[in-house]
Copies of this chain bind each other. A is one copy, B any other.
């Protein structure tokens, strides 16, 4: 059994890790870290876990945890993982970081967008960007996996084959993304109160959201050149789900079947990516609770643009599910272990 420690286990992503790992045959959680709820029963914080988890929360002593755990998930605010990591810890355990600390290769880009100093830049190079369908082989050998952001996973997976194959001009990409409110976390803020979110819709972080450089960097690798895009996230009155509606100008005169073939080339064998049939649109509800990303697209001959639509569950493929998928890769397990989740409808 793989021994797992979670730092930040009482945030929404941390709680989703717990939900998924309870169903994982090869892993057991040995450390429920939560700075806010030290010594409290985990199930008193998440009553869904009543009778399922009988453990108290611990602090975020990563040194001690590293001795006990084969892998540590850090589902914590930006900066924490980088501030705690060191060589001794990495000698004992592997790290899957759900924060942004090791996602961007250029530390100055990190510091500019996140407005904090990076405390462990020496590990940036070796950290592997944990988008399993794209970096699978590198992940298997990693000590540090930088688990991608929720918006990012959906955006990159939606556009990657098009960019890689040169079907579109990557600098025309516009990603209009919509997210359920769990993406905003469990912090008690007025903006996230039920009455403020319900019956409402808004954009936020327009032209300034931190996932922008992450998308650009990864698509840049696919393009072989720097890419600059527009990314606009929106808050939607639902708990879970990310929907990406993306636009780009086609460079070639292609049919739906041509483009589909390109998607098949990259994702045809991927279990967690479902390429939708022609005429169908991705919907967040169809993937809720599962690790799937659904992708569909439409070509608009009038504007010579392609409209790509991707949907995933921000807490699963957008966070905890992908983190478990990364763990499975790290430890040579079946990549689907613990992730055979049938989407729940309604």
Q: Is A342 at the interface (CB under 8 A from chain B)? A: yes
Q: Is A288 at the interface (CB under 8 A from chain B)? A: yes
Q: How far is the CA of A305 from the CA of B305 in the complex (A)?
A: 17
Q: Is A245 at the interface (CB under 8 A from chain B)? A: yes
A15 proximity list for chain B (CB < 8 A): 345
Q: Is A79 at the interface (CB under 8 A from chain B)? A: no
Asked whether A344 and B207 contact (CB < 8 A) given A199-B241, A232-B307, A241-B200, the answer is no
| A240 touching B193, Cβ below 8 Å | no
| A186 touching B195, Cβ below 8 Å | yes
| A239 touching B281, Cβ below 8 Å | no
| A203 touching B245, Cβ below 8 Å | yes
Q: How far is the CA of A342 from the CA of B238 in the complex (A)?
A: 20
CB contacts under 8 Å to B, within A166-215, are 171, 174, 176, 178, 180-182, 186, 188-190, 192-204, 206-207
Q: Is A274 at the interface (CB under 8 A from chain B)? A: yes
Q: Is A265 at the interface (CB under 8 A from chain B)? A: no
| A199 touching B230, Cβ below 8 Å | no
| A181 touching B200, Cβ below 8 Å | no
| A345 touching B48, Cβ below 8 Å | yes
- Smallest CB–CB gap between A319 and chain B, Å? 13
Asked whether A281 and B204 contact (CB < 8 A) given A189-B188, A232-B245, the answer is yes
Residue of B nearest to A285 (CB): B200
B-contacting residues of A (Cβ < 8 Å)?
Answer: 12, 15, 19, 22-23, 46-52, 171, 174, 176, 178, 180-182, 186, 188-190, 192-204, 206-207, 228-230, 232, 234, 236-241, 243, 245, 247, 274, 276, 280-290, 294, 298-300, 302-303, 305, 307, 309, 311, 340, 342-346
